[in-house]
Amino acid sequence: MQTIDRPSRAILEEIRTAWIAENGTIPIGNSTDEAGWTQAIDAKTALTSEERSAFAAGDELIKIKLLKQVSRRVEAEVMTQLEARGVTMQIRFNPKLKENGLLDLK
């Protein structure tokens, strides 16, 4: 564990590099799976076949509403999983990104 006064990407990258070097191998989640930890959750992958059809046939407003709906569903699933793991910290996803079908921490 290392305590830092102010978060800094450069410091965090140095800590990460040193940790990987100390470990001797690149841990899962730090190579091919890194995007799962660093990028927003793409809720569009959770579209049902009916939702895909509605999305393809819909106008821009329908698409936005559908993506918000799917994003809220995926958000609820994520929150349920976190709660089952004992997470009690308040987590809030950026509401503006839900229009694009993305969940990213605010």
Q: Average the pLDDT over 57-79 and give the result.
A: 95
Phi, then psi, of 44 in degrees rounded to 5: -60, -25
pLDDT of 78 above 90: yes
pLDDT of 48 above 90: yes
Sign of torsion, CA 43 46 52 54?
negative
DSSP annotation of 102: E
pTM for the model: 0.75
Helix, coil or strand: residue 66: helix
CA distances from 88 to 52, 59, 85 (A): 34, 39, 9
37: phi > 0 → left, psi -120 to 50 → alpha, else beta; which?
alpha
